[in-house]
Structure 1
Amino acid sequence: MAYPAKTDRNSILHAAMKQVESEGIDSLAIRSVASTLRLAPNALYRYFESLAALKEAVAEEARLQMLEVMQKAAGRNGPAESIRAISQAYLRFAHEQPRVFAIYLKTSGPDSNIPQCTPLCARNTEFFLEQVTRVYGEKRAWDASLALWATLHGLAVLRKAGVLSGSQSSTSLKFSLKMWTEGALSSSDDK
């Protein structure tokens, strides 16, 4: 006879995400997540073999959330408007959920010190690159994608650090997107 489940993977992940949102990834612990769910810590090991595995699942959830935010922002907009909407959504996500954003970029495997891109990491990159390709074309898309991503990430980090205010971040984004879009219009292919 099977025992009735008191929890499931999604419930554990949801509780872990809540803890990361409020306390950060370094505070995440099997015991505290189990306590939140009113379970014995051993119950969580049925779904996550270690704390590292739980942390990687949380990072994957953060990547999924960012992908969904970007996809929703892009909607059915034209190429340039999609980039603008995605950029604003990226920065809003980083500002509203700074602790989740901090783990969004972590790409180490659960038991490895070697960085690796997970399937959701790759899906985020592919989606972003597809949107940039609509503006820049295939030949320059990769470089344009890296430049835009670096700009967005830089603005997010500078705002979190208090170097930029919300209005300064917004102004910088508008200026950066104007320059980035004008780059798409230039016919020179600088290398």
Structure 2
Amino acid sequence: MSTSRRAEHYHHGDLRHALLEAAMAMLEAEGAAGLGLRELARVVGVSPAAPYRHFDSKGRLLEALAITGYQRFSTAMWAAERQSAPARRIGAMGQAYVRFALDNPNLFRLMFSPELKRDGRPSLRLAADAAFDTLKAVTAALPEGEKRVAALRAWAQVHGLAVLLLDGQIALRPGEDVDALVAAVIGAG
């Protein structure tokens, strides 16, 4: 193989972004267990060593995916909050929370996976905290001492509902609309 051809084969415009997008697709299709840096390199069309320039391990790749997930998650909740009347903001954010989980089940599970410890991963901690801050923002009118507990209460409710739905623990009745059920359960209707 000539040097110019090799350089052409290994050159990629934005490899980190391409790797993350391909990994996101693989994650949703196969779950975190199905992800591997060598397979990812094959899918993107680069050498097996190329992904290691951006992610020194599978753990770092999973961390980057979780950070991307938290960013998308926060964006979805903020969009729901901005599009709602003040009295319905927390319910709209709760619905966005559960909808994100249902639309991105493997990403959602990765984001909250006990295997991805936030300790020692400052970027992951910041992304997770920013997502929680979206829930805290709608409690701004409450006294300072009540904001955290109100946000935790809302988080526990929507997270529990999302996990129960993802795990099939809540069976939908024939013709039942999951979004209407979620709205009724969290009081957003």
TM-score range with shorter-chain normalisation?
Answer: 0.7 to 0.9
% same residue: 27
- Separation in structure 1 between the aligned mates of residue 89 and residue 149 of structure 2, nearest angstrom: 18
Report matched runs for 1:88-99 at 5 Å: 88-99=95-106
Identify which range, 169-178 or 16-25, moves more after superposition.
169-178
Normalised by the size of structure 1, how large is the TM-score?
0.79
Residue in structure 2 matched with residue 125 of structure 1 by the alignment? 132
- Kindly report which structure 2 residues correspond to 1:16-165, keeping only aligned pairs within 5 A, or say none: 16-106=23-113, 107-109=116-118, 118-134=125-141, 136-165=142-171
Q: CA RMSD in A?
A: 2.4
1:177 aligns with 2:187: yes
Structure 2: runs of 5+ lacking an equivalent:
1-6
TM-score (norm 2): 0.80
Q: Distance in 1 between matches of 2:134 and 2:99?
A: 18
Distance (whole Å) between structure 1 residues aligned to residue 49 and residue 60 of structure 2: 14
Higher relative contact order (CA 8 A, sep 6+): 2
For structure 1, which segment, 13-22 or 97-106, has the greater mean C-alpha deviation from structure 2 after superposition? 97-106
SS in 2 for 1:39: coil
- Please give the secondary structure, in 1, of the residue aligned with 2:55: coil
Instruction: Check 1:172–1:75 CA distance in 2 against 1; reply closer, same or farther (3 A cut).
Output: closer
CA displacement, residues 45-102 of structure 1 (integer Å, 9 cap, x when unaligned): 1111111111110111111110111111111534332111111111111111111110
Residues 115 and 149 (structure 1), Cα distance of their counterparts in 2 relative to 1, 3 Å cut: farther
Q: Call closer, same or farther: CA 1:78–1:172 in 2, change over 3 Å.
A: closer
Letter aligned with residue 19 of structure 2: I
Change (3 A) 1:50 1:18: same
Aligned length: 172
Q: Evaluate the alpha carbon distance shift between residue 108 and residue 51 of structure 1 in structure 2; reply closer, same or farther with a 3 A threshold.
A: same
146 and 168 in structure 1: CA distance in 2 versus 1, 3 angstrom threshold: farther
Runs of 4+ residues deviating >6 angstroms: none
Distance 1:101 1:143, change over 3 A: same
Distance in 2 (CA, whole Å) between partners of 1:73 and 1:145 is 16
